[in-house]
């Protein structure tokens, strides 16, 4: 039993200025173990990953891999031979082929000549060894998220690493992709590879992992076999509150006013290659859900509603007025608020403060004649911090210093700041912890309760449960419509194309 741990971290302390991100934490992952690390947003999970992969040097504490001390800081090759992290954001170079990505920085060097034929056949052999069915000549940018993750895992293993960290690996996969990933991880585990799995999806923790560690407020709270820990006790350990019997969130039933005035309407809206002509209406007081897995066209629909993409056909109106297609400023001016899926690219200005980022949409309301009064900006941000439970040292902290989930909350605050007629949110709770999810979805409901409207595009059932109606998209077509009270299986089946109730819009 007692082979040395794949990784053992002890007494790790990491500070960022006044913030203590890790306060003497420990973690041990055994060979062949699938170990979950969970905790609320800002608990210190990503910081630990940075320490374990050599990106951050801890202020105190030690890390060993298989009983050997961690490599010297900066010795990238030595770190790569111990551990790799597959992030949500791709680490592969999009314009290079799969083969080139696999052997990046370790080409056969015969003078300056790279032996392409050999490179390709080595790549093919390597992919075959790990059961990855991807053509080595494909450009990395053409890979699906699932294929890209498999290539990254194969690359890590080929460097000799026997510990792989997966940071929210299922975030962009559909149900089939998740099952294929889990099957592959189980196979590798049987070969002695260890996994550290970071996820806010507790169901996946229970499905995949054998052991779970909880961090809370920079401290280690517990490590236990997953089988011995009820989900409500796990949530209680994460939040520091007594166990609650409610682990999956149900929206409070707020009766939307019947047949309220139409706020957002799309008529025969279409985008070639993404979604076919569809109609939708969202009324005052209503939250409309658009359900669909990764390739459903849902994200493209959300992006079209907010002007990021120009539709190939159709019309969008807000409160009866036509919105210029494909223009974000016009959509914003017409009263559409947007919470993007990719907050890194579309969401935030990293070096600016929480207050500035949260008010980017409303600079004209923060002072007379276009001036921005810092006091008003801060007061607005302080309200958002409180209502969305954003964990920050204060409104003046740069957003780059917030944890991922807390950055997502700033993006939502920003979308709400302009008091839009209709909020359009794409996967708003991605990366957000269980408790914050509750706060955040509650805020979306409040938007509707205040007589405005919202659209949530998501394949997360908890997100869709707060909606008054849900349209299910499959391959760019509306295949079903559900009123409140739908059964999970029915909605999942519709999202996966297992039923086709209707062909057009609602
Ligand atoms: N570069 C940084 N500068 C300043 N503070 C930071 C930095 N990185 C992290 N922090 C702080 O360290 C704490 C822990 O953050 P970390 O990103 O590790 O949390 P997390 O558990 O990964 O959260 P999430 O679930 O939201 O991703 C937070 O308070 C965060 O604000």
> Hey, CA dihedral for 224, 230, 234, 236, is it positive or negative?
negative
Out of 171, 403, 435, mutate this one to test ligand 1's pocket (max ligand atoms within 8 Å of CB): namely: 403
Nearest alpha carbon, ligand 1 atom 28? 42
Rounded distance from Cα 44 to ligand 1 centre (Å): 6
The minimum-distance atom of ligand 1 relative to the CA of 218 is 14
Q: Is the CB of 47 under 6 A from ligand 1?
A: yes
The separation between the first and the last C-alpha atoms of the chain, rounded to the nearest angstrom, is 59
Region 337-354 average pLDDT: 76
Look at the chain and count its residues. Answer: 506
Same domain, 286 and 357: yes
- The answer to whether 480 touches 494, Cβ cutoff 8 Å, is yes
What does residue 242 show for φ and ψ, rounded to 5 degrees? -60, 150
Q: Is the CB of 21 under 6 A from ligand 1?
A: yes
128-135's contacts with Cβ under 8 Å and 24+ in sequence apart are: 129/154, 130/154, 130/157, 130/188, 131/184, 131/187, 134/98, 135/98
Same domain, 207 and 308: no
Of the pLDDT bands very low, low, confident and very high (cuts 50, 70, 90), residue 149 is confident
Out of 12, 42, 202, mutate this one to test ligand 1's pocket (max ligand atoms within 8 Å of CB): namely: 42
pLDDT, tens digit (0-9, with 9 covering 90-100), for 414-461: 888 878 999 999 988 888 888 888 888 888 898 898 899 999 999 989
SS3 annotation, 278-297: EEEEEECCCEEEEECCHHHC
Q: Is residue 129 part of a domain?
A: no
Average pLDDT of the residues of the chain = 85
Rounded distance from Cα 294 to ligand 1 centre (Å): 28
- The answer to whether 501 touches 291, Cβ cutoff 8 Å, is no
Of the pLDDT bands very low, low, confident and very high (cuts 50, 70, 90), residue 311 is very high
Asked whether the predicted pLDDT for residue 54 surpasses 90, the reply is yes
| CATH code of the domain covering residue 171 | 3.40.50.300
Rounded distance from Cα 402 to ligand 1 centre (Å): 5
Of the pLDDT bands very low, low, confident and very high (cuts 50, 70, 90), residue 11 is very high
Region 402-412 average pLDDT: 87
Sort 21 into a burial class: Cβ within 10 Å, 0-12 / 13-18 / 19+: buried
Q: What is the pLDDT of residue 249?
A: 42
Nearest alpha carbon, ligand 1 atom 25? 41
Q: Number of folded domains in the chain?
A: 2
d(CA 128, CA 149): 15
Query: In angstroms, how far apart are the furthest CA atoms of the chain?
Result: 75
Q: What is the pLDDT of residue 326?
A: 92
Same domain, 151 and 16: yes
SS3 annotation, 339-351: ECCCHHHHCCCCC
Asked whether the predicted pLDDT for residue 342 surpasses 80, the reply is no
Residue showing tokens 């500035």: 356
Cα dihedral value 280, 284, 287, 292, nearest 10: 10
Q: What is the DSSP letter of 247?
A: -
The model's pTM: 0.82
The minimum-distance atom of ligand 1 relative to the CA of 17 is 4
Out of 15, 38, 44, mutate this one to test ligand 1's pocket (max ligand atoms within 8 Å of CB): namely: 44
Strand partners, 194: 163
Rounded distance from Cα 15 to ligand 1 centre (Å): 10
Cα dihedral value 252, 340, 413, 236, nearest 10: 50
Strand partners, 84: 164
DSSP 304-369: HHTTSS--SEEEEEETTEEPPTT-HHHHHHHTEEEE-S-HHHHT--TTSBHHHHHTGGGGGGSSGG
Any idea which of 23-37, 205-219, 413-427 has the lowest mean pLDDT?
413-427
d(CA 315, CA 270): 9
Q: Is the CB of 49 under 6 A from ligand 1?
A: no
Q: Is the CB of 301 under 6 A from ligand 1?
A: no
Q: Is residue 107 part of a domain?
A: no
101-105, 214-218, 399-403, 484-488: range with highest mean pLDDT: 214-218
Q: Is the CB of 401 under 6 A from ligand 1?
A: yes
Q: What is the pLDDT of residue 105?
A: 64
Q: Is the CB of 22 under 6 A from ligand 1?
A: no
Same domain, 232 and 308: no
Any idea which of 56-65, 144-153, 240-249 has the lowest mean pLDDT?
240-249
Same domain, 388 and 426: yes
Rounded distance from Cα 42 to ligand 1 centre (Å): 5
Asked whether the predicted pLDDT for residue 10 surpasses 80, the reply is yes
- Residue 94 corresponds to which tokens in the numbers above? 């999009």
Q: What is the DSSP letter of 199?
A: -
Nearest alpha carbon, ligand 1 atom 10? 401
Among residues 239, 254, 277, the one where a domain terminates is 239
d(CA 210, CA 90): 27
Same domain, 157 and 287: no
Residue 48, Cα to own-chain centre: how many angstroms?
18
Of the pLDDT bands very low, low, confident and very high (cuts 50, 70, 90), residue 305 is very high
Same domain, 317 and 436: yes
Of the pLDDT bands very low, low, confident and very high (cuts 50, 70, 90), residue 357 is confident
What number is the ipTM of this complex? 0.98
Strand partners, 113: 110
Asked whether the predicted pLDDT for residue 253 surpasses 70, the reply is no
Asked whether the predicted pLDDT for residue 113 surpasses 80, the reply is no
d(CA 88, CA 76): 21
Same domain, 219 and 360: no
Q: Is the CB of 436 under 6 A from ligand 1?
A: no
Q: Is the CB of 45 under 6 A from ligand 1?
A: yes
- The answer to whether 165 touches 84, Cβ cutoff 8 Å, is yes
> Hey, CA dihedral for 176, 182, 184, 186, is it positive or negative?
negative
149-153, 204-208, 249-253, 438-442: range with highest mean pLDDT: 204-208
Instruction: Say which residue, 500 or 409, is predicted with more confidence.
Output: 409
Same domain, 218 and 332: no
Q: Is residue 83 part of a domain?
A: yes
Rounded distance from Cα 373 to ligand 1 centre (Å): 29
Region 320-331 average pLDDT: 91
Element (H, E) at 149: helix 145-158
Rounded distance from Cα 196 to ligand 1 centre (Å): 18
Q: Is residue 197 part of a domain?
A: yes
Q: Is residue 2 part of a domain?
A: no
Q: Is residue 108 part of a domain?
A: no
Q: Is residue 88 part of a domain?
A: yes
Among residues 194, 223, 239, the one where a domain terminates is 239
The beta strands (E) that lie in 113-175 are given as 163-167
Of the pLDDT bands very low, low, confident and very high (cuts 50, 70, 90), residue 505 is very low
Q: Is the CB of 432 under 6 A from ligand 1?
A: no
Q: Is the CB of 88 under 6 A from ligand 1?
A: no
Q: In terms of residue numbers, what domain contains 310?
A: 263-495
**Percentage of the residues of the chain whose pLDDT score is greater than 70:** 87
Of the pLDDT bands very low, low, confident and very high (cuts 50, 70, 90), residue 502 is very low
Same domain, 235 and 281: no
CA distances from 304 to 16, 274, 287, 338 (A): 39, 10, 18, 11
Residue 366, Cα to own-chain centre: how many angstroms?
31
113-117, 279-283, 412-416: range with highest mean pLDDT: 279-283
Rounded distance from Cα 313 to ligand 1 centre (Å): 43
Region 40-45 average pLDDT: 94
pLDDT, tens digit (0-9, with 9 covering 90-100), for 224-235: 999 999 998 998
Same domain, 278 and 413: yes
3-class DSSP assignment, residue 435 = helix
Q: Is residue 104 part of a domain?
A: no
Q: Is the CB of 44 under 6 A from ligand 1?
A: yes
Q: Is the CB of 404 under 6 A from ligand 1?
A: yes
Same domain, 344 and 454: yes
d(CA 21, CA 44): 5
Asked whether the predicted pLDDT for residue 22 surpasses 80, the reply is yes
Q: In what order do the strands lie in the sheet with 19-29?
A: 19-29, 7-16, 60-65, 68-69
Q: What is the pLDDT of residue 347?
A: 66
Q: What is the pLDDT of residue 506?
A: 43
> Hey, CA dihedral for 415, 417, 418, 422, is it positive or negative?
positive
Rounded distance from Cα 432 to ligand 1 centre (Å): 13
Instruction: Return all residues near 411 (Cβ < 8 A) that are at least 6 apart.
Output: 339, 340, 343, 347, 348, 357
- The answer to whether 146 touches 181, Cβ cutoff 8 Å, is yes
Q: Is the CB of 58 under 6 A from ligand 1?
A: no
């Amino acid at each position: 039993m007692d082979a040395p741990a794949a990784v053992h971290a002890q007494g790790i302390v990491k500070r960022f200025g006044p913030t203590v991100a890790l306060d003497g934490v420990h973690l041990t992952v055994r060979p062949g173990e699938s170990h979950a690390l969970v905790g609320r947003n800002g608990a210190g999970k990503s910081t630990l990953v940075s320490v374990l992969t050599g990106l951050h040097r801890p202020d105190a504490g030690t890390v060993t891999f298989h009983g050997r001390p961690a490599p010297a800081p900066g010795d990238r090759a030595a770190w790569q031979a111990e551990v790799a992290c597959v992030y949500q954001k791709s680490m592969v170079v999009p314009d290079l082929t799969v083969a080139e990505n696999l052997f990046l920085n370790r080409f056969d060097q015969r003078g300056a000549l790279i032996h392409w034929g050999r490179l390709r056949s080595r790549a093919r052999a390597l992919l075959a060894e790990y059961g990855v069915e991807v053509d080595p000549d494909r450009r990395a940018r053409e890979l699906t998220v699932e294929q890209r993750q498999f290539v990254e895992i194969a690359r890590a293993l080929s460097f000799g690493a026997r510990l792989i960290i997966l940071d929210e690996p299922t975030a962009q996969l559909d149900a089939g992709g998740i099952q294929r990933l889990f099957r592959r991880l189980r196979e590798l585990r049987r070969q002695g590879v260890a996994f550290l799995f970071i996820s806010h999806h507790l169901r996946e923790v229970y499905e995949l992992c054998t052991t779970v560690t909880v961090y809370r407020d920079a401290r280690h709270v517990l490590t236990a076999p997953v089988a011995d820990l009820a989900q409500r006790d796990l949530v209680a350990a994460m939040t520091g509150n007594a166990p609650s019997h409610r682990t999956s969130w149900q929206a409070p039933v707020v009766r939307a006013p019947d047949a309220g005035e139409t706020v957002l309407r799309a008529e025969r809206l279409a985008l070639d290659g993404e979604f076919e002509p569809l109609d939708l209406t969202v009324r005052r007081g209503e939250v409309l859900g658009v359900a669909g897995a990764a390739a459903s066209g849902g994200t493209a629909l959300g992006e079209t509603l907010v002007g990021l993409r120009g539709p190939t056909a159709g019309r969008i109106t807000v409160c009866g007025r036509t919105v210029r297609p494909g223009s974000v400023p016009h959509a914003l001016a017409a009263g559409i608020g947007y919470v993007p899926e990719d907050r890194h690219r579309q969401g935030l200005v990293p070096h600016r403060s929480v207050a500035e980022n949260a008010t980017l949409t409303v600079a004209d309301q923060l002072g007379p004649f276009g001036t921005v009064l810092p006091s008003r900006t801060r007061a607005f941000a302080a309200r958002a911090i409180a209502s969305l439970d954003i964990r920050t040292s204060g409104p003046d902290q740069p957003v780059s210093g917030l944890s991922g989930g807390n950055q997502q909350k700033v993006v939502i605050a920003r979308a709400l700041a302009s008091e839009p007629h209709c909020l359009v949110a794409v996967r708003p709770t991605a990366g957000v912890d269980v408790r914050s999810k509750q706060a955040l979805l509650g805020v979306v409901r409040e938007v509707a309760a205040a007589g405005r409207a919202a659209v949530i595009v998501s394949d997360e059932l908890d997100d869709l449960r707060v909606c008054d109606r849900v349209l299910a998209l499959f391959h760019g077509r509306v295949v079903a419509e559900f009123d409140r009270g739908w059964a999970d299986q029915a909605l999942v089946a519709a999202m996966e194309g297992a039923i086709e109730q209707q062909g057009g819009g609602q």
